[in-house]
């Protein structure tokens, strides 16, 4: 029996990405679950940031940002960056996160995150009263120790933090159960 619960964008699961805006000396971190790839050529990501004024101003200043995918081990730090303002805290100091210089842009990456993307802001679209930011991915990095011996990504080593919206819970990943673009062929 399906129960109506009112209009909720209950998309499960979501990532819990850390967006770094600003330059190396004046950088801020904000936690964003409303983020998705948008186009494949060029590789573009979009994220919705609401009224995060501090990050918004830094983002408009530099026109660049990094997307950092955290592991479940740093859940508390990720949550801290989501519930506090950069106007009040230097979140790098407060979390103990280490800034890593980017190669193509001024915004730094977070060393403690196993996946990092350098992005150039290419558009801002107003959706209702919320800005949607579009960024072209210029380069992506993965920690070398998260690769398998054959050079493939090992998701269990990356151990990404998972966010479940509506219930507001953090989860881990469980186990790999199938290859996409493959397992559905059995139904033909």
Residues 61-100 that bind a second copy (CB under 8 A): 67, 69, 72, 75-84, 94-95, 100
Q: Which stretch binds a second copy (CB under 8 A): 19-27, 58-66, 112-120?
A: 112-120
Rounded distance, CA 66 to CA 61, Å? Answer: 14
Q: State which of residues 14, 99, 106, 157 lies at the interface with a second copy (CB under 8 A).
A: 14
DSSP letter string over 20-31?
A: EEE-SSSEEEEE
Q: Which is nearer to a second copy, 51 or 61 (CB)?
A: 51
Radius of gyration from C-alpha coordinates of the chain: 17
Rounded distance, CA 63 to CA 187, Å? Answer: 46
Rounded distance, CA 52 to CA 48, Å? Answer: 10
Contact, 161 vs 170, CB < 8 A? yes
Q: Which is nearer to a second copy, 61 or 130 (CB)?
A: 130
**CB of 11: closest distance to a second copy in angstroms?**
5
Beta strands in 33-87 (DSSP E): 35-40, 43-48, 64-69
Q: Which is nearer to a second copy, 61 or 168 (CB)?
A: 168
Q: Which is nearer to a second copy, 13 or 63 (CB)?
A: 13
Q: Which is nearer to a second copy, 59 or 67 (CB)?
A: 67
Rounded distance, CA 146 to CA 69, Å? Answer: 13
Task: Find the binding residues for a second copy in span 19-58 (CB under 8 A).
Answer: 33-48, 50
Q: Which helix (H) or strand (E) holds 127?
A: strand 115-127
Task: Find the binding residues for a second copy in span 166-185 (CB under 8 A).
Answer: 166-185
Q: Which stretch binds a second copy (CB under 8 A): 19-27, 56-64, 124-132?
A: 124-132
> Site map for a second copy, 129-168, x if CB under 8 A?
xx-x-x-xxxxxxxxxx-x----xx-x--x-x-xxxxxxx
Q: Which is nearer to a second copy, 57 or 132 (CB)?
A: 132
**CB of 76: closest distance to a second copy in angstroms?**
5
Give the three-state DSSP class for 77: helix
Give the three-state DSSP class for 53: helix
């Amino acid at each position: 029996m399906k129960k109506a619960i009112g209009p909720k964008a209950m998309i499960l699961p979501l990532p819990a990405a850390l967006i770094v805006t600003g330059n190396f000396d004046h950088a801020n971190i904000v936690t964003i679950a409303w983020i998705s790839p948008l186009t494949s050529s060029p590789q573009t990501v979009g994220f919705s940031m609401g009224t995060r004024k501090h990050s918004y101003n830094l983002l408009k200043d530099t026109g660049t940002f990094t997307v950092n995918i955290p592991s479940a081990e740093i859940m508390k730090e990720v949550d801290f960056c989501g519930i506090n303002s950069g106007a009040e805290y230097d979140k790098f100091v407060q979390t103990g996160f280490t800034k890593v210089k980017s190669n193509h842009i001024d915004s730094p990456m977070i060393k403690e995150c196993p996946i990092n993307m350098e992005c150039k802001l290419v558009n801002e679209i107003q959706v209702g009263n919320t800005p949607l930011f579009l960024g072209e991915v210029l380069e992506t990095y993965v920690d070398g120790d998260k690769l398998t011996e054959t050079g493939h990504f090992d998701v269990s080593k990356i151990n990404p933090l998972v966010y479940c919206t509506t219930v507001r819970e953090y989860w881990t990943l469980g186990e790999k159960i199938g290859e996409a673009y493959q397992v559905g062929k059995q139904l033909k």
